[in-house]
Amino acid sequence: MDRKHNPFLTPYARELRKNMTKEERRLWYDFLRNSPVKFSRQKVLGKYIVDFYSAKLKLVIELDGSQHFKDEGQNHDARRDAYLKAYGLTILRIPNNEINNNFDGVCEYLQTQIDKYNISPCKRETN
């Protein structure tokens, strides 16, 4: 898998960045964008586009709407997660309703995951 570039998905990822869901916008603008660790949004990783990705942490954050909780969505997510985990990535799935109803709790949880890597909150990673 060429995680860094898939020319067939790049235009679609660009479009997704322009048209983020309200939950993606909230997480990006109110938390991840200012994280001490650099995150990318709508990042192409091989044959998939993930919502948020930190190369430094090898961390994928996926926000899941209601379609992810139906059988077909769960089967697709399981295949996708297995594909990404095969490359040493950790996948965190957060339901949209948690963003809407428990945003502070989501941010605390994500900060805990970031802190596992002893990243100083005073310096932002540069790539």
What percent of the chain has a predicted confidence (pLDDT) above 70?
82
DSSP-derived 3-state class of residue 53 = strand
pLDDT at 110: 95
Can you give the pLDDT at residue 5?
67
Note the pLDDT tens digit of each residue in 80-115. Answer: 999 999 989 999 999 999 999 999 999 999 999 988
Q: What is the pLDDT of residue 123?
A: 47
The model's pLDDT over 15-28, given as tens digits with 9 standing for 90+, comes to 999 999 999 999 99
Sheet hosting strand 90-95, strand order edge to edge: 40-45, 48-54, 59-64, 90-95
Rounded CA gap, 70 and 96, in Å?
Answer: 15
Query: Which two structure tokens, joined as six digits, stand for 77?
Result: 């997510």
Q: Which CATH architecture has domain 21-38+56-115?
A: 3-Layer(aba) Sandwich (3.40)
Best CA proximity match to 13, nearest among 45, 44, 35, 56: 44
* pLDDT class of 74 with cuts at 50, 70, 90: confident
pTM score: 0.82
Q: Residue ranges per domain, the chain?
A: 21-38+56-115
pLDDT attached to residue 127: 47
